[in-house]
Structure 1
Amino acid sequence: MPNLTQNFNFKKPLQTENYDIDVQNSNWDKVDAVIPLSNMARQAIINGNFDVWQRGTTFTNPANLQYTADRYMWASVPDGGTNPILVHSRLTLASGEIPNSYFGYRINSNGSGSSYGASSLHWFSQPIEFGTRYLCGNGKKVTVSLWARSDIPGKKLGFWLRQTYGTGGAVSASEVINGASWTLGSVWAKYSFTFSTNTLASKVFSSVNNDMLEVAIAYQWGTAFASRVGTSTPETFVGAGNIDIAQVQLCAGDVALPFQPRSFAEELQLCQRYYERYDGVAASTRLNLPAAVAYDSNTFRTSMLFRVPKRVAPTMTQGGVFRFIPSGIGTNIHFFETTPFGTGIGASTSGATVGNSTVIQSNDTGGWIAADAEL
């Protein structure tokens, strides 16, 4: 019977025992289970388990470069072709269907699409902040993995990477690193590919610190982009049905490590560095802003601190209808002096007395505010 170490209960064979490979593997499994996911080399993808959906959980025909699930962007370039109706949504998995996952990402297509040009391309991607500087370089490899399935017979899916050095000034040009593609089956299977990244020698990075490594999952491609996914054959959406993915991961090295979920609280906080939304969706959950003070006769002002500091000063947007309380009079809001840490909010009025206070609230039909600092 082996001895056990004090902290992690690793098995240590006795001096009289041969070292059993099963014991060794058991010890490695324990090491893997405690390696922190905060380490980018272990998992560089944020929201790889599709737990966080601040923008909504269903998107019909999302626009080119539109974000859907947190940290994931959809790109659509039909190049003269016609897309089918594409509905992107959060997929709830059957209990135990994929260990350590509850959600996935589904694209439902009502057909194959038609007349796609040679430069057509549809992909789903995540830009990994500082991924180029920390994960790439001469001799360095990264491995992308995910689970996928499709009930569309013959449907293919592919991976590729884009190594970028940022924007602004005379930075080095971005570099595409070609990957591979697979024909999906109707049952879940894990797919992975190891990429050799490009050297960083003599490369010029942006002074605004926005280099990134983009992980791209291709759903459709024309002949001009087929080489990005390791083929020479173009791909459409093939037919009506579902294309499902789950557990997206990128880790350093040439092994697709076992997927380790983060806590929801940690995943949400990571997502909110790039995007944060405040919702008042109904009468029972109105959005109440901090108390506002009359700045002049035409404006009330308040401020909002973000839950998580942003990557950069974000772009602020709002929707729905807002009003003053207790009067119930409607108002239009705007933003000023936005920083990575918070924003000022102004609300239009008339005849206000400077120094008087009020509350700005979304009305019963809902209102929202969003801070967007995506790459």
Structure 2
Amino acid sequence: MDIALGNVPSSALDNTDNVIFTEGELAKKVQYSDMKTDIVGNANLSTASQTAKEAINELNQDLLDSVGYGVISGGVVTAQSTPNMTVQVSACTYKTSTGARKTAVANSSLVVSSADATNPRIDIVYINSSGVISYLQGTAAVSPIVPTTPSGGFLLAQINVSANATSVTNSNIADMRKILISTDYLNAQLSEKANQNLLINGSPSVWQRGTSFNNVQQYTADRWFYVCYTSSPQGSLTKDVDNSIKITNFNTNQNFIEQIIETNLGEKLAGRKVTLSAEIKVTGMTQGSLFLQLLSSVGIDSINYTGAVTDKLIINQSDISSDYKKFTLTATLPTTLKTLVPQIGSANAIGSGMVNSNCIVNIRNIKLELGSIATPFAPRLYAEELAMCKRYYQVLPTGLAFADCFLGANYIDFYVPLSVTLRVNPTLVPSSGAAFRILNKTTISYDDAFTGPTMSVYTPFGLNLRMTKPSHGITNATFWASVGTLALDAEIY
């Protein structure tokens, strides 16, 4: 089953509206219905009105329904709008432990027995073995216990009935439903618990440029630029064993990381409330402070410090821990925002100044999200994170070879397809000591008198690498990255 993915679903349970099929819908529909038959054992789901995308979604739900039991929807027990000794129970679709899918009819006025004059009790609402919403009175006692759900029954709620109670309110009702995870339920729960991360590579899991950087001011982990300038760059940043960003060898001016968010997203955040969060652990800190900062710039895909607005959280020595601790900053961004830049680290001009040079700071699980609550960090799949990073930076590895696509008298062009469209026309960055050779396929020999490569043509789908040699005379050639790599850099600087 060959498919080409557009926006890759974040899990197998996601809606597949963004999946693009490379062949006709009907052909794929039949194949996916066969998959359902093989895995779930149900009849083919292929129908004249059902597309392949619908087939996949139904397959996902059937796979979920094939294991476990519980409430699929409904079965909610609530008090009356004017509380009395009855409760309302909504219709309930549920799956039994035997695998049967059933529906119980709603009951708008389920009677609760009169309260005991002396002691409280606990009653239950359940669906009986015949699929009828039912009520079972407990035994009043100083310390009442929950009655046992009758055999074949399905528990929905407990009702705490106080001594001499004359009505049941929602505060007396405890929801006891076992929820069967469905696609809709799972998506709803995830959306409540974890907002989308507006940053790329927040873990960080992608390190295309390497994992150790000393006394250089540059991009390190993908999308994270290391600022470490004093009279010259000074500071160390490495990938630690837990994949965190580890900063050491602090200078006396500034050592921090930042991610420049593109204007096409920054403008959408203008005037909005956002929260920046990160997990940070610190060892050996004896002076200064750290910070979380949101720098709002009016520059287009750039930091324009003129008129820039900053919101910051100062992290003092009393706030830190040698174990990871989550720090959060919430701010309402200016309406003039163009480019937003989250920054984390230490600077002489912020808070209590620079930390000591031998301080060690680890940073991970960095997240920017809408709203005022820092929801849990949910890492993306590595492949998804890498694809997002490749919009800004891609590496053509050692050993890669490309056939010629155009032969000029003094040059040869080689077409390089791109797996991800770059943000802008890239800069070609050969690694140190890189060597690129031209194979004359007619003579089966290498011609090392060519210079380059340079980029002659760029499209969203690929680019032409040009190797140059006056009057080369070659009619059939291959480009070979024999030593080192060639990076395509489209980052924001």
- Give the TM-score band, short-chain normalised: 0.7 to 0.9
Residue in structure 2 matched with residue 256 of structure 1 by the alignment: 374
Q: CA deviation at 1:213?
A: 1.1
Matched, 1:60 2:187: no
Alignment of 1:1-375 (within 5 A): 4-6=70-72, 12-13=76-77, 15=89, 16=125, 17=157, 18-20=172-174, 34-35=190-191, 42-63=196-217, 66-78=218-230, 80=231, 86-93=235-242, 103-109=243-249, 113=251, 116=252, 120-129=253-262, 130-137=264-271, 140-154=272-286, 156-167=289-300, 174-182=307-315, 183=317, 184-198=320-334, 200=335, 203=336, 211-219=338-346, 221-222=347-348, 225-226=349-350, 231=351, 233-236=352-355, 238-280=356-398, 286-296=399-409, 298-319=410-431, 320-325=434-439, 326-330=444-448, 331-332=450-451, 333-353=453-473, 356-363=475-482, 365-374=483-492
Change (3 A) 1:53 1:21: farther
Cα deviation for residue 32 of structure 1 reads 6.3
How many Å separate the matches in 2 of 1:172 and 1:59? 26
Distance 1:56 1:303 in 2: 27
Contact 2:248–2:357, Cα closer than 8 Å, also in 1: no
Relative CO higher for 1 or 2, CA cutoff 8 Å, sep ≥ 6?
1
Identity %: 22
With normalisation by structure 1, the TM-score equals 0.74
Indicate how the Cα distance of structure 1 residues 324 and 31 shifts in structure 2: closer, same or farther if over 3 A, else same. closer
Contact residue 153 and residue 185 of structure 1 kept, 8 A: no
Using the TM superposition, give the Cα deviation of residue 19 of structure 1 relative to its aligned residue in structure 2, in angstroms: 4.5
| AA at the equivalent of 1:179 | K
Assess if the C-alpha contact under 8 Å between 1:4 and 1:11 holds in 2.
Answer: no
1:51 shift after superposition: 0.9
Secondary structure at 2:228's aligned position in 1?
Answer: strand
Matched residue type, 1:240: N
Amino acid at match of 1:34: L
Q: Cα 1:351–1:212, aligned 2, differ >3 Å: closer, same or farther?
A: same
Cα deviation digits, residues 282-309 of structure 1 (max 9, x gap):
xxxx12123354311x311112222111
8 Å CA contact 1:294–1:352 kept in 2: the answer is: no
CA–CA separation in structure 2 for the residues paired with 1:215 and 1:260: 19
- When residues 268 and 328 of structure 1 are mapped into structure 2, their CA distance, relative to the original with a 3 A threshold, is same
Q: Secondary structure at the match of 2:266?
A: helix
Contact 1:305 1:342 survives alignment (8 Å): yes
Unaligned runs of 5+ residues in structure 1 are 94-102, 206-210, 281-285
Residues 48 and 249 in structure 1, CA contact (< 8 A), matched pair in contact too: yes
Instruction: Work out whether residues 132 and 165 of structure 1, in 8 Å CA contact, stay in contact via their aligned partners in 2.
Output: no
SS in 2 for 1:185: coil
Give the distance between the partners of 1:127 and 1:174, measured in 2 at CA: 17
Alpha-carbon distance, 1:192 to partner: 1.1
SS at match of 2:372: coil
Cα distance change on mapping 1:348 and 1:5 into 2, 3 Å? same
- SS of 1:337's partner is strand
Q: Is the 8 A contact 2:430 2:484 kept in 1?
A: no
Amino acid at match of 1:360: F
Contact 2:281/2:362 (8 A) holds in 1: yes
Q: Which residue identity does 1:43 align to in structure 2?
A: N
Deviations 1:116-137 (A, max 9, x none): 4xxx433210112234322230
3-state SS in 2 of match to 1:258? coil
Q: Distance in 2 between matches of 1:36 and 1:322?
A: 51
Instruction: Give CA-to-partner distance per residue, 1:141-160, whole Å, 9 cap, x none.
Output: 11111111122234632111
> What CA deviation, in whole Å up to 9, does each residue of 1:233-292 have, x standing for no partner?
2223x1325211110001111100011111111111111111111121xxxxx1212335
Sort the Cα spacing of 1:300 and 1:175 in 2 relative to 1 into closer, same or farther, 3 A.
Answer: same
Point out where structure 2 has 5 or more consecutive residues left out of the alignment: 1-68, 79-88, 90-124, 126-156, 158-171
Deviation at 1:173, TM superposition (A): 5.4
TM-score when normalising by structure 2:
0.57
Distance 1:245 1:172 in 2: 25
For each residue in 1:32-74, what CA deviation from the matched residue of structure 2 results, as whole angstroms up to 9, or x when unmatched? Answer: 653399x9x62101001111111111111122xx111111111
